[in-house]
Amino acid sequence: MTHRPRQKVTRLTGILLGLGLAATPATAFARPLQPDAATPGAAQYAQVATVTPYQDKLAATGLDDPAKKDIAMQIVSSAENSSLDWKAQYKYIEDIDDGRGYTAGIIGFCSGTGDMLDLVQLYANRKPGNVLAKYLPALRDVDGSDSHAGLDPNYTRDWRTAANDTAFKTAQNDERDRVYFNPAVAQGKADGIGTLGQFMYYDAIVMHGPGTDSVSFGGIRKRALQKAKPPSQGGNETTYLNAFLDARVWAMKQEEAHSDTSRVDTAQRVFLRNGNLNLNTPLDWKVYGDPFHIS
């Protein structure tokens, strides 16, 4: 299985990317993104009030619809794991030599960026004494680095053992939703964008992390807002999403490991050019030259 590197910067962005951001508090990247309160409609959406037509449309459907969420997971897995079978990735773990230590699980939790530590802590809270709990001190020590100290030689074996436990799978699902999926959908709805746009947000947070610097999701969105207005501000949805993808491509090219932008160019832009703002099936796309199809 070919696993594609991501640029997830939930903690210690300056250390991991060498972009001179070490002065940014590490904990800033560990918190899930909250919908931008300055976005018109954010407060109204949180209360599910009867408001503008675009919000009424989004209340009825979105990426949080179970069928759409499964599609989102398949598309992300096509880029992250070269497979549509995202449920086979609970047990996945390897060091992909991107400076973030071990990468593992359904969303690429990393030992060097804090989200793996948070996941294993949640699993330990729910099931004390589990096979991964003994690695918590080591995960705290290696956070912010690519070190395996205290994890080798048995951590990968024990991770795969844990992946057979329903409680660990549930913990992975819950952390994915808390840190990445739910914040992406909430911000997308606050911005008035539909299912495809919410997916674009989600894929960006998965790769870049929910931070606020220029190469994290918050910075990407800020760059897009400088070029176009989202529907919540009276802008055209397609125009805004193109601006967001332009900003995303810029961020990807800041790191050599992500200079291949096909997950945008031959996937998300294809859906957008086809006017498929609701991410309806059938879907056909390519990532890194590999074709994929969802009926």
Q: How far apart are CA 237 and CA 229, in angstroms?
A: 8
Q: How far apart are CA 269 and CA 60, in angstroms?
A: 24
Residue 40: the pLDDT is 41
**pLDDT less than 70: residues of the chain:** 1-34, 37-61
Q: Is pTM, for the whole model, over 0.85?
A: no
Are 244 and 220 in contact by the 8 Å Cβ rule? The answer is yes
Residue 259: the pLDDT is 82
156-201: per-residue pLDDT in tens?
A: 999 999 999 999 999 999 999 999 999 999 999 999 999 999 999 9
Residue 256: the pLDDT is 78
Residue 255: the pLDDT is 81
- Active-site residue list: 80, 98
Residue 35: the pLDDT is 72
Nearest to 190 by CA among 85, 60, 38, 79: 38
